[in-house]
A and B are shown apart, each in its own frame.
Chain A
């Protein structure tokens, strides 16, 4: 069946440190992956995405790594700031650019940034 899960439900880091949030997925047919950030009382906010033909993609202070061999996805946040405190979700789609908008979400990781 389809499943996207997270290894760590809670991650606590010091301000200024780098954060790494991990995600495992089970559907080898998935070809598009997204990381979302959700703050309290808000809907998920897009952070960064990656297609299955890539293994790394960088954004502003964030990097997503994809290891298809072990079906593993990670989000790295550089110089973590208090404003990064939120729940982070990975999501997968197995119809990139196609007809479906169906996303399968992981369970989420709470990132707590300590000042």
Chain B
């Protein structure tokens, strides 16, 4: 069974641009969550989607958004990028209780 797949693995963007990251959950998993990981703030919850609906959201500005498709694949978007958005963005999928993480997308904003 394939694991959680995140694309791209690495990304470099300039300030003011927008970016879209993709996450394909484990087959059969309907819940997808996104996390931001930085050295200063650690792992922080961004949002969670289940059956195409956002059912939980963390304390991030409105520049961070996401969506989920009918096949459970999810995307997150960050608009008007800031230098502080540089981070590892992780996606996790869940079927029951255990959450499985992808390898993440390393975003660098210059």
Which residues in A have some Cβ–Cβ distance to B below 8 Å?
32, 34, 36, 41-46, 49, 89, 91, 93, 96-97, 99-108
Choose from A46, A99, A100, A107 the contact partner of B98 (Cβ within 8 Å).
A46
* A61, B98: Cα distance in complex, Å: 19
Of B11-19, B63-71, B79-87, B88-96, the segment with at least 4 beta carbons within 8 Å of chain A is: B88-96
* A32, B92: Cα distance in complex, Å: 17
B contact residues around A99 at 8 Å (CB): 50, 55
Please classify the interface of chain B as helix (H, G, I), strand (E, B), loop, or mixed, using the class held by over half of its residues. Answer: strand
* A56, B43: Cα distance in complex, Å: 25
B contact residues around A105 at 8 Å (CB): 35, 42-44
Which residues in B have some Cβ–Cβ distance to A below 8 Å?
4, 31-33, 35, 42-45, 48, 50, 55-56, 58, 90, 92, 94, 96-104
In the complex, what's the smallest C-beta–C-beta distance from B28 to chain A, in angstroms? 15
In the complex, what's the smallest C-beta–C-beta distance from A83 to chain B, in angstroms? 18
Q: A42-B103, A43-B102 are in contact. Are A102 and B33 (CB under 8 A)?
A: yes
Q: A42-B103, A43-B103 are in contact. Are A100 and B48 (CB under 8 A)?
A: yes
Q: Are A97 and B103 in contact (CB under 8 A)?
A: no
* A53, B3: Cα distance in complex, Å: 30
In the complex, what's the smallest C-beta–C-beta distance from B7 to chain A, in angstroms? 13
Q: A44-B101, A45-B101, A49-B97 are in contact. Are A101 and B42 (CB under 8 A)?
A: no
Give 3 closest A-B pairs by Cβ, nearest first.
A43-B101, A105-B43, A101-B33
* A57, B101: Cα distance in complex, Å: 22
In the complex, what's the smallest C-beta–C-beta distance from B87 to chain A, in angstroms? 13
* A38, B29: Cα distance in complex, Å: 22
Q: A43-B104, A105-B42, A107-B42 are in contact. Are A100 and B99 (CB under 8 A)?
A: no
Residue of B nearest to A32 (CB): B97
* A97, B32: Cα distance in complex, Å: 15
A contact residues around B101 at 8 Å (CB): 36, 43-45
In the complex, what's the smallest C-beta–C-beta distance from B38 to chain A, in angstroms? 12
Q: Are B100 and A101 in contact (CB under 8 A)?
A: no
Residue of A nearest to B46 (CB): A102
In the complex, what's the smallest C-beta–C-beta distance from B35 to chain A, in angstroms? 8
